[in-house]
Amino acid sequence: GMPGLGKTTIAKVIYNKLSCKFECMSFLENIREIFNAQGLSHLQNQLLGDILEGERSQNINSVAHRGSIIKDILSSKRVFIVLDDVDDPSQLEYLLGHHEWLGEGIRAIITTRNKHVLAVQEVDDLYEVKGLNFKEARELFSLYAFKQELPKLDYRNISCRVVSYCQGFPFALKVLG
């Protein structure tokens, strides 16, 4: 979905709620940005560092070797992984491998702006985040702008214009609030 809809926020809430039920977990945030700035090796090292808790992950130099280790872990342990803001199918390939790599105890959440990225991975379920309706948007804006659920009487007209302008995007409502 579009930026600012709350995909990362939703993923964080789910991660924080469910991660204690798994042997290993990792939340890789801003993959698009990190991939462009620091490359795939950095992301693989971060993933391995999280799920191996630092052991063995420091001395692995090859992308293919790290991929092989990730595959072994994903097929043998209960792992919960969140990959946030994925924008290229190759990022999924090198971090999660292929659908058949994922054992029964694996849960992965992938956030992306581009649905076609998920088609390559053959995801089991797809959830598209929608913008807030007018009532929800007005309430969110009012909470940030006025610290109450409804806008103050003197500011109702301008609040409605701001809410309409933001088109249900929570981040925009928060910033303008």
> Concatenated DSSP letters for 21-53?
GSSEEEEE--HHHHHHHH-HHHHHHHHHHHHHT
Provide the token pair at 76. 């043998």
Are 96 and 153 in the same domain?
A: no
pTM reported for the whole predicted model: 0.77
Same domain for 74 and 105? yes
Q: Are 95 and 46 in contact (CB under 8 A)?
A: no
Q: Is residue 146 a part of any domain in this protein? A: yes
Instruction: Name the domain count of the chain.
Output: 2
Question: How far is residue 129's CA from residue 145's CA, in Å, rounded to a whole number?
Answer: 24
96 inside domain: yes
Asked, for residue 72, whether it belongs to a domain, the answer is yes
Same domain, 39 and 105: yes
Residues 54, 138, single domain; the answer is: no
Per-residue pLDDT tens digits of the chain, which is 177 residues long: 667 778 888 899 999 999 999 988 999 999 999 999 998 888 988 998 888 875 555 566 777 778 888 888 888 888 999 999 999 888 988 888 877 777 788 898 999 988 888 877 777 788 888 888 999 999 989 999 999 888 888 888 999 999 998 888 888 888 888
- Domain for residue 1, yes or no? no
Mean pLDDT of the chain: 85
Q: Give the position of tokens 């103050």.
A: 152
- Flag whether 127 is in a domain: no
Are residue 18 and residue 67 in the same domain, yes or no? yes
Could you tell me the residue range of the domain that residue 159 belongs to?
134-176
- Asked if residue 164 is part of any domain, the answer here is yes
**Residues 114 and 165 both lie in one domain:** no
Residues 67 and 13 in one domain: yes
45 and 105: one domain? yes
pLDDT in tens, 21-38: 998 899 999 999 999 999
Same domain, 20 and 55: yes
* Residue 123 forms part of a structural domain: no
Give a yes or no: residue 144 inside a domain.
yes
Are 112 and 140 found together in one domain? no
Who's near 145: CB < 8 A, 6+ residues apart? 151, 155, 159, 176, 177
Nearest to residue 108, comparing CAs of 5, 4, 22?
22
Residues 96 and 167 in one domain: no
SS3 content of the chain, % helix, strand, coil (to 5): 60, 10, 30
Same-domain pairing of 55 and 105: yes
